[in-house]
Structure 1
């Protein structure tokens, strides 16, 4: 699943956050959109699990800050 995490103007230390996110899902991909400041995340984790990982890293976000992005999968490689 892909998520946009609206962190607003909060400066997020990606190195610190990486420890929590990689413990959650070792195959997770995440980065910061330099235009919007939002984080982008591709993972098998649920939004609630992401909230917990952010909280453990010291960033307290609400459920409204994590937006599930509609799938762009065509099914061609596995379906």
Structure 2
């Protein structure tokens, strides 16, 4: 699942976020959008699980700040 997380001016420790995500999903990815204060996440998590994981890492955001994105999977790789 892909998400955009509105940080609302919070500073994210990207290394800590990636470490926490990969502890749950080794294939997870996270980066910061250079044009907006948005954390982009791709992980096998629900919105609620992502929110809880971020909160444990010191990024406490409202549920409404986490926006799940539609799948862009074409199915071509068989996944």
Say yes or no: TM over 0.5: yes
Which whole-Å CA distance do the structure 2 matches of 1:39 and 1:61 have between them? Answer: 11
Which whole-Å CA distance do the structure 2 matches of 1:45 and 1:63 have between them? Answer: 14
Match of 1:52 in 2: 52
Runs of 4+ in 1 over 6 A off after TM superposition: none
Which whole-Å CA distance do the structure 2 matches of 1:18 and 1:76 have between them? Answer: 27
TM-score normalized by structure 1?
A: 0.88
Aligned residues: CA RMSD: 1.4
The number of residue pairs the alignment matches comes to 79
Say which is worse superposed, 55-64 or 10-19, in terms of deviation. Answer: 10-19
Match of 2:12 in 1: 12
Q: Which runs of no fewer than 5 residues in structure 1 stay unpaired?
A: none
Match of 2:41 in 1: 41
